[in-house]
Amino acid sequence: MIWVWIALAPILGGLVYGGERVLRARMQRRLGPPFLQPFYDMFKLLDKRTLIVHAPHALLAVAHFFALWFSVAAIFLGWNLLYIVFLHLIAQMLLILAGYSVRSAYSHLGANRELLMLVAYEPILILVAVGLYLVSGSFEITGMIQKGNYLAQLPLLFAALLMIVPIKVKKSPFDVGEAHQEIVGGVEIEYSGVFYEFLYMSRFLEYLFIYSFVFIFGGESVWLGAVLVAGVFLLVNLVDNATARVRTPQMIKIIYMAAMPLAVLNLVWILL
């Protein structure tokens, strides 16, 4: 059964993304695209003629997608959370190398920003894993979701996680990595057709990846987890519609000045 879910992961993420586009449109009081729009986009991209810059660049996007899928699969299987964070790191690095591998200013800027985003969210993700470990006594997700009530013990850590969700799903105020108005999508700029499709789908997987971190905070109660995910989903979209983009150094500063102390403070609190 779990394998079916893993196989369907991109589709699941696509549904989330489609729902999000509708939700955002409704927040702006407009009709918005159909719910299944992401899949229409995917089918259309398959039908386009594909232009590439050079072969390794195109293939690294495919590698990025599969590595990301792999890390999402690892979450579904309930493996070691720390390993999952680093599997995700590999996926991100493949994307960044792809961005650097073409001689394109926008692609390089985008990859630079991806790197800086990594510097911002990676420590928080690891601290989240460590915090959950300290409370539950296990790094395995299967062990973590057998204990309850992380929110009571790790509220600040949850707040820190909340601050990095917009970075991962590329939403304002932390959507510097994509920033269509300034760097035209960053690393994805040189992709088209089939290969862009892989990047488009990996965006769906990013949703699953980061929201499953939120879900784990629900602990043994699936309902609490679901409520948390839904709440964070609404909140992130609300903030996205209400705020402007900050610059990359400001983003780093905000994360290191606000989210990091929160996370560390929470760890100190449960240790003492």
Of 248-267, which residues contact another protein (CB under 8 A)?
264, 267
User: 80: which strand partners?
Assistant: 140
Spell 151-177 as b/e; 16+ CB within 10 A means b: eebbebbbebbbbbbbbbbbbbbbbbb
Contact between 93 and another protein by CB under 8 A: the answer reads: yes
From 89, 159, 224, 246, residue interacting with another protein (rule: CB under 8 A)? 89
- Minimum CB separation of residue 194 from another protein in Å reads 9
- Minimum CB separation of residue 59 from another protein in Å reads 5
Q: What is the DSSP letter of 174?
A: S
Instruction: Report the site for another protein in 157-196 (rule: CB under 8 A).
Output: 180-181, 184-185, 188-193, 196
Structure tokens at 259: 């989210």
State phi, psi for 140 to the nearest 5 degrees: -75, 140
Q: Specify the stretch interacting with another protein by CB under 8 A; choose among 51-59, 147-155, 162-170, 226-234.
A: 51-59
Q: What is the DSSP letter of 48?
A: S
The amino acid present at 132, given as its one-letter code, is: L
Contact between 101 and another protein by CB under 8 A: the answer reads: yes
From 20, 57, 144, 229, residue interacting with another protein (rule: CB under 8 A)? 57
Contact between 244 and another protein by CB under 8 A: the answer reads: no
Nearer to another protein, 128 or 232 (CB): 128
- Minimum CB separation of residue 230 from another protein in Å reads 24
The amino acid present at 118, given as its one-letter code, is: L
- Minimum CB separation of residue 242 from another protein in Å reads 15
Contact between 202 and another protein by CB under 8 A: the answer reads: no
Distance CA 70, CA 136 (A): 25
Spell 253-268 as b/e; 16+ CB within 10 A means b: ebbeeebbebbbebbe
From 12, 15, 16, 90, residue interacting with another protein (rule: CB under 8 A)? 90
